[in-house]
Amino acid sequence: MRLTRLAAAAVTLTAALSMTGPAWASEASTSKLAGCSDVKNGWSNGNVFAFNQPNCGGTMLGYTRGNDPDWNAAGGGFVNDANQAVSVLNDGGTDPNGLTVVAFYDKINYDYRYGYRCLDMGDWVPDLSGLVYYRADNLPAALVKNTISSHQWVTRSACAGPSWMG
């Protein structure tokens, strides 16, 4: 008798789910921004964040209010994290020197010759796929996804027009 009730309940539940569709289907269109937005709203401002999955998901590689010349070395907010970022967020605050923009670099020590991209205060990129670093010499540059090696806080005027993302 108890087994019959369980079987009937399972059939009813299966039928109900098949009529309404999967629960995640309606969330798929809005989930792209929800993760980064949650991070932005859940932390005090002033930090730059990087994650190893799209939409500020997966593992948080690091966060810091300061610069980090080498995402593989200790001491700058990111340790053993170079070449892993898939999504980034600039939740920076106001700065008396105007350092509200984060410049991400392909190479360590902020070496802009190989390319950089800038992210304005309050912006995020839920998926770095397809973005290419900006190089002033217009030579081919690497994709940004999984290649960030350093970052620093800069002024808006330090970023060339084509270098902006977000």
Question: Using an 8 Å Cβ cutoff, are 116 and 164 in contact?
Answer: no
CA separation for the pair 30, 2 (Å, rounded): 41
pLDDT digits (tens, 9 = 90+) for 29-80: 333 445 898 888 887 788 999 999 999 999 999 999 999 999 999 988 999 9
Q: What are the residue ranges of helices labelled H in the chain?
A: 2-20, 31-42
Buried b (16+ CB within 10 A) or exposed e, 125-141: bbebeebbbbbeeeeeb
- Rounded CA gap, 140 and 160, in Å? 16
Instruction: Express each pLDDT in 128-158 by its tens digit.
Output: 999 999 999 989 999 999 999 999 999 999 9
34: Cβ–Cβ under 8 A, 6 or more apart, which residues? 27, 55
pTM of the predicted protein model: 0.78
Confidence of residue 9 (pLDDT cuts 50, 70, 90): very low
Taking the mean position of all CA atoms in its chain, how far away is CA 125?
5
Q: What is the mean pLDDT of residues 10-23?
A: 34
Nearest CA-CA partner of 131 in 119, 100, 121: 119
Domain 30-165, CATH = 2.60.20.10
